[in-house]
Amino acid sequence: MKTTRLAGLGLAAVLSCAGALLFAVGTPANADTADLTFSTDTAAVTPGSTVDVSMTLTNTQSTGIRFVYQSIRPTWETSRQPDLKYAVVSCRTEDAPCGFDGAGNLGRAYSLPLAPGESRTVTLTYRIAVDSACGRSLGFSSYLYYEYGGGLFATSDTSDTYWSPVVRVDCPPAHS
C-alpha cells in the first residue's frame, strides 16, 4: 500500500513539474524598449491656432537602428469628439521636411541608420479649425516598431505604443 501511495505522489510531482515547464511564461532576458518621447509646444490652444507635436526617438541599443516603422493616430478619446476639427499642416525633421502624407505613417521620416545614443526628432504641426468646438482635448497614440543589429543575421526588433501629452482646445476669451 505504501509503495502505491509513494508512486502516486511521484507521478503527481512529475506531472506538476512538466506542466509548469510547458505553461511557464517568462520575461525576456533583455527587454529593451525604444526611447520615444513626446512633447508639445503648448498645453492649450484655441480654434484657429496651431500646435506642434514633437517625437524624439533615441537609440538605447548597443547597435544601430536600421529600420523604423512608426504610425501616429488620434487616441480613442480624441476620435470620440466629432466636433473637434483639426488637420496636419506640416511635418519636419531637424534637417528637412519629412513628407508626411497625413495617413499616419512616419517611419521614413527618421534618417537611418541611427547609431547608439543618437536621437532624431520629427515634429508634426496641427491646425485646429476655426469652427472647431472648444472645451475638447487633442491627443495621439503612436505605435513604434524598429529593428537593430550589427549583422545580417543579428537583427533584433522591438515595438511598443506611446502616447502624446493631451492638448486642451480652449474657448477664446469673450470680448467685452
Name the residue among 131, 125, 124 with its Cα closest to residue 48: 131
Residues of the chain whose pLDDT is less than 50?
A: 6, 9, 11-32, 152-154
What integer pLDDT is reported at residue 172 of this predicted model? 85
- Three-class DSSP labels, 23-43: HCCCCCCCCCCCEEEEEECCC
Q: How many residues are given for the chain? A: 176
**Rounded distance between C-alpha atoms, residue 61 and residue 115, angstroms:** 9
124 close to 139: Cβ distance less than 8 angstroms: no
pLDDT 10s digits, 40-88? 999 999 999 999 999 999 998 888 888 888 888 999 999 999 999 999 9
pTM of the model: 0.73
Find residue 105's DSSP bridge partners: 71
